[in-house]
Amino acid sequence: MPASGRAHLRNAIPPAVRARRRDAVADVGKRDIGAVPRLGKSERTKPDVCCNGRTPSAAPSTPGPAMEDLARHFVFALVDDFTHIAFSCAIEPLRLANLVSGRTLYRWSFASADGRPVKSSNGIVTHVDHSFDKMPPCDQLFVLSGIDMQHKETALLAAALRRARAGGTPIGALCSGAYILAKAGFLKGMKAAIHWEYHDSFEEEFPEVELVRSVFVADEKCITASGGTAAADLMLHLIDRDHGYEVSVAVADQMVYNAVRTPAASQRISLQARSGTRNRHLVRAIEIMRKRIEHPVSAAEIADEIGVSTRQIQRIFIRHMHMSPKRYFQNMRLERARHLILQTESSITEIAFACGFGNLGYFSRLYKSVYGKSPSLQRGR
């Protein structure tokens, strides 16, 4: 979705489309378009049933076979402790696309390992329609997981994903779900997005995957979104692709979502937004540090690469980051070490060297001084 179009979302919608949306909103009390049937072709004469088993109190007129066949069916494979914010941000744009269009453009269903209700990371329990080994053919299958996905048993899901892929079903992932796809070998040679907190461990474990720091990747065989509201950005992108810009803008308006991001958008708040600075030398210096974590370089070497004096780069960091370049770089390396300690099975020694600390004793003392416990105790906790 072009950035210029987003600046004037409402003005970009022709009067005829706005009139249709007003009619759809006025009619929302009379029908529940979001509650779509998940029944087989032979059962379409039966009443619509929501995933919680209740019949909608005011169902719309029964859609004809042509409308039902045109609806794109998304299946979400939910791994225990999945992230609920990504789940909601994925489902709601689909429901609203049905609402603003006045048609059933999308339908969706959920799956868990055993077909029983599955709990999200915030404790909310979601009823599902399928087990992993009995997921139906669909137009798009998404894996959604959350915290601690490295230690979840996903062999059953991986087998189901391989069967689905063999049958021609497009596979994707939301939030940390990209880890599950990579572990199953789905992302080799592809670009992928995953929540920024897992970047360090993901790059160490899956060097064959080109990890990007953008909010989502939609131009690969397996599409991925990094988590949180990035799931909404991805769904708006898919709605735009399937049904046009006007429908996607109408959905964004319903969500009061006027900052829709493109695939190129970064996951994390920019340095400029955090520090209020536009200093290009600072941005370049931090980028050099990020690329040289394993083999740290001095402030003098960074200054030389940028083309400024060492004294100038020192002044820039003190002014904008309130610490020396050496301290900033050290904190960056320690943060990466902490991610690797908590998210991987690599030894403390391997992690120390991967973060540019050649002396294990020095690394342990420094780590404890910053985080209050030694690396080994951090992992044990």
Does one domain contain both 352 and 240?
no
- The yes-or-no verdict on residue 104 having pLDDT over 90 is yes
**320-372 pLDDT, tens per residue?**
888 999 999 999 899 888 888 887 788 999 999 999 999 999 999 999 998 88
More confident residue, 151 or 61: 151
Does one domain contain both 46 and 125?
yes
Does one domain contain both 158 and 293?
no
Does one domain contain both 250 and 296?
no
Final residue before a domain boundary, out of 224, 254, 284: 254
Does one domain contain both 61 and 27?
yes
Q: Which pair of tokens denotes residue 192?
A: 């992928």
Residue 88 forms part of a structural domain: yes
Mean pLDDT, to the nearest integer, of 153-165? 95
Residue 100 forms part of a structural domain: yes
Residue 309 forms part of a structural domain: yes
Residue 276, classified by CB atoms within 10 Å of its CB into exposed (0-12), middle (13-18) or buried (19+), is exposed
- pLDDT range class, residue 184, cuts 50, 70, 90: very high
Does one domain contain both 93 and 221?
yes
- The yes-or-no verdict on residue 289 having pLDDT over 50 is yes
Does one domain contain both 227 and 355?
no
Final residue before a domain boundary, out of 207, 227, 254: 254
Helix (H) or strand (E) holding 216: strand 216-217
Final residue before a domain boundary, out of 254, 289, 319: 254
Does one domain contain both 215 and 285?
no
DSSP state of 75: E
Domain holding 120, by residue range, is 3-254
| Whole-number CA gyration radius for the chain | 24
Give the model's pLDDT for residue 69: 58
Helix (H) or strand (E) holding 183: helix 177-183
Residue 262 forms part of a structural domain: no
Cα–Cα distance, 77 to 150 (Å, whole number): 16
Cα–Cα distance, 145 to 228 (Å, whole number): 12
Cα–Cα distance, 309 to 290 (Å, whole number): 20
| Whether 142 contacts 181, CB under 8 Å | no
Q: Which pair of tokens denotes residue 5?
A: 């179009």
Give the model's pLDDT for residue 278: 66
More confident residue, 18 or 253: 253
Domain of 175, CATH number, reads 3.40.50.880
- The yes-or-no verdict on residue 277 having pLDDT over 80 is no
Domain count, the chain: 2
Does one domain contain both 10 and 90?
yes
Does one domain contain both 229 and 324?
no
- pLDDT range class, residue 33, cuts 50, 70, 90: very low
**38-92 pLDDT, tens per residue?**
333 333 333 333 343 333 333 333 344 444 557 999 999 999 999 999 999 999 9
| Whether 165 contacts 186, CB under 8 Å | yes
Per-position b or e across 310-331, b if 16+ CB within 10 A of its CB: eeebbebbeebbeeebeebbbe
Does one domain contain both 101 and 202?
yes
Give the model's pLDDT for residue 38: 39
More confident residue, 197 or 41: 197
Counting Cα atoms < 13 Å in the Cβ hemisphere of 12 gives 19
Give the model's pLDDT for residue 265: 65
Contacts 24+ apart (CB under 8 A), 256-259: 257/232, 258/6, 258/9, 259/6
Domain of 319, CATH number, reads 1.10.10.60
More confident residue, 49 or 191: 191
Give the angle 37-39-42 at the CA atoms, nearest 5°.
130
Give the model's pLDDT for residue 61: 35
| Whether 158 contacts 180, CB under 8 Å | yes
Residue 266 forms part of a structural domain: no
Query: Directed axis angle between helix 325-343 and helix 280-291, to 10°?
Result: 40
Proportion of the chain above pLDDT 70, given as a percent = 77
Give the model's pLDDT for residue 147: 85
Cα–Cα distance, 142 to 352 (Å, whole number): 36
pTM score of the predicted model: 0.62
Q: Which single residue is written with the structure tokens 């690599």?
A: 346
> Furthest-apart CA pair in the chain: how many Å?
77
Mean pLDDT, to the nearest integer, of 199-205? 86
